[in-house]
Amino acid sequence: MKFVKFTLKHNQAHKAEIVDLNSDVNIFFSEKNSTGKTTLMRAILYTLGFSIPNTELVQFDNFEFTLEVINKDKTYNVIRKSQLLIIDKIEYDLPTDMARAHTYLFGIENKELLSNILGTIYFDQEKGWTLLNRGTIIGENRFKIESFFRGLNGGENDDSYKIAAVIEALNKKIEQYRLMFNVSEYQESLSLDVEQKFEPKSYIQTLDEELLAKKQQLEKIENEIAGIDKLIEKNQDFSIYITKMKLCVKNPQNNTPIRVTSDTLLNFDDLQETHKARRNVIIAERNQLKKEIADREQAQKKEITLLDLPTVDEELTHRFSAIQRFSSLQVKSMLDKFTRERDDLANTLKMRATQNNNWATDAHKSIADYAKKLKIPKEYKLDIFTSNLKAKSGAILYKMVFIYKITYIQLLSKKLDYPLPIFCDSPYRFEVEKETIEEVLNVLKSDLLNHQIIIASIHDYKNIYPQANIVTLDGTLFNDKSQTMLSDYQGTR
């Protein structure tokens, strides 16, 4: 499967923008963050019919996207308009028809494989580089290793699917009983409070205390952001200063002195990127905190108008405490019973996914081979069904996630009899050495030759992919300057 051309047009724009993808390797590149690299990658996945969340400044519903896809010598024309997906003039209503659309586009009928496509081909910048075998990929999309291997193994008539349905029903029942347990405990504590005539802390007092704590936390975060900005600025000033000084250092290799500049300072750019990455994380925390403060201030305004209704709250409290109660011990007993049943069935499914499954055997062999190739120490347990990530360092975890994911991609491609595309969003991680990242990308280059690779990064990786199609982004791709409504912001994520 290969993407040839991607077209995007805002609903109120005069013309469409075209992105050429007709290359084995496409790199969405910008030296800066917040220029649209992630947005472009997500827009392509969104066009394929996946449920992909918008980025901060771009609402996908406001665009019409078109993607030209070639698979097994057949060309597909894919159009996405909000919740309408059109493939070769066949219309699908999303998300209801997503499985049907993906069956047509990817040639997959097995529902277990359909639900795990995105988790197989996509490395998300937020969670994808730490997700080994199960969890949320992006938005509401999840990857489940047991489900993936059941799908590879086929067996639609196998009662494993019935067991999976029972597990899903038990999970809903467990959530219900957890809620009942919380209510029963609350009723018991409320009854005790009423009997002792205990007057709980008022809601508005709680809001006041929370507001004060969050504003103090916001002040601390603002100071930390200012400190990082100052540090970045000082580092930049220092770089300019030493360049102007025209200093040189002795060259141990020959008599030609080495000029001291920002380019010759070791790891200077990486250090600046680390500071910027930390700043982005803190800014996200600050924005969330501001939202929480605004919510509480709004709630505080509403609560002030209700200060003359204490008797209503007291009456409702008494009524709730008087409702016929059910024992929290009985609820807990049922909750434990359903949980044990669910866990037993989950273990049964895991056994079925691993035993007498040649795909799982092939996966373990592939992972072991790649572990040896990437020099992962033998003491690290390489179990595709493990959930223990605590003992793994950043570099080791990074390599393990990589070899697990490319193993999944190779297995699914073998099952489908065509190479799937690979999406890598921000392979650079500030806690992982540059050499480690280039090492795994070289493996991708050498071992997945037939797979189209799409990378979004602040690095162009020309040393690894000299023939790559570099799509340089500056924040204007989704910003048609002819439209007033779109020209108010400076860039996209």
Q: What is the 3-state secondary structure of the chain?
A: CEEEEEEEEECCCCCCEEEECCCCEEEEECCCCCCCHHHHHHHHHHHCCCCCCCECCECHHHEEEEEEEEECCEEEEEEEECCEEEECCEEEECCCCHHHHHHHHHCCCCHHHHCCHHHHHEECCCCCCCCCCEEEEECCEEEEHHHHHHHHHCCCCCCHHHHHHHHHHHHHHHHHHHHHHHHHHHHHHHHHHHHCCCCCCCHHHHHHHHHHHHHHHHHHHHHHHHHHHHHHHHHHHHHHHHHHHCCEECCCCCCCCEECCCCCCCCHHHHHHHHHHHHHHHHHHHHHHHHHHHHHHHHHHHHHCCCCCHHHHHHHHHHHHHCCCCCHHHHHHHHHHHHHHHHHHHHHHHHHHHCCCHHHHHHHHHHHHHHHHCCCCCCCCCCCCCCCCCCCCHHHHHHHHHHHHHHHHHHHHHHHCCCCCEEEECCCCCCCCHHHHHHHHHHHHHHCCCCCEEEEECCCCCCCCCCCEEEECCCCCCCCCCCHHHCCCCCCC
- d(CA 148, CA 114) in angstroms, rounded, equals 9
Q: Which residue has the higher pLDDT, 49 or 169?
A: 49
Q: What is the pLDDT of residues 206-238, one digit of tens each?
A: 777 788 888 888 888 888 888 888 888 888 887
Q: pLDDT category, 322, cuts 50, 70, 90?
A: low
pLDDT at 490: 37
Domains of the chain, earliest start first: 2-132+358-486 (3.40.50.300), 203-311 (1.10.287.370)
Which distant-in-sequence residues (6+ apart) come within 8 Å of 466 by Cβ? none
| Region 414-427 average pLDDT | 93
Q: pLDDT category, 325, cuts 50, 70, 90?
A: low
Which distant-in-sequence residues (6+ apart) come within 8 Å of 175 by Cβ? none
pLDDT at residue 131 is higher than 60: yes
- Cα within 13 Å of Cα(117), Cβ side: 24
| Region 45-69 average pLDDT | 92
Structure tokens at 226: 């200012």
pLDDT at residue 199 is higher than 60: no
The reply to whether the predicted model has a pTM over 0.75 is no
- d(CA 462, CA 31) in angstroms, rounded, equals 14
The CA–CA distances, whole Å, from 276 to 33, 45, 240, 270, 407 equal: 9, 27, 19, 10, 33
pLDDT at residue 355 is higher than 60: yes
pLDDT at residue 68 is higher than 80: yes
Q: What is the mean pLDDT of the chain?
A: 82
Ramachandran assignment for 164, one of left (phi > 0), alpha (psi -120 to 50 degrees), beta (any other): alpha
pLDDT at 129: 57
pLDDT at residue 323 is higher than 60: no
Work out the percent of the chain whose per-residue pLDDT is above 90: 31
- d(CA 5, CA 362) in angstroms, rounded, equals 35
pLDDT at residue 488 is higher than 80: no
User: What are residue 20's DSSP bridge partners?
Assistant: 5
- d(CA 71, CA 2) in angstroms, rounded, equals 6
Q: pLDDT category, 32, cuts 50, 70, 90?
A: confident
Q: pLDDT category, 408, cuts 50, 70, 90?
A: very high
pLDDT at residue 414 is higher than 90: yes
pLDDT at residue 2 is higher than 50: yes
Q: What is the pLDDT of residues 147-197, one digit of tens each?
A: 898 889 875 556 777 787 788 888 888 988 888 888 777 766 666 555 444
Work out the percent of the chain whose per-residue pLDDT is above 70: 83
Q: pLDDT category, 455, cuts 50, 70, 90?
A: very high
Strand 453-457 versus strand 422-425 pairing type: parallel
The pair phi, psi for residue 64, each rounded to 5°, is -110, 120
pLDDT at 275: 81
| Region 99-123 average pLDDT | 92
pLDDT at residue 344 is higher than 70: yes
Q: pLDDT category, 391, cuts 50, 70, 90?
A: low
Q: pLDDT category, 128, cuts 50, 70, 90?
A: low
Q: pLDDT category, 123, cuts 50, 70, 90?
A: confident
Q: pLDDT category, 9, cuts 50, 70, 90?
A: very high
| Region 303-312 average pLDDT | 53
Strand 122-123 versus strand 90-93 pairing type: unpaired
Strand 122-123 versus strand 422-425 pairing type: parallel
| Region 474-493 average pLDDT | 53
pLDDT at residue 300 is higher than 80: no
| Region 140-144 average pLDDT | 85
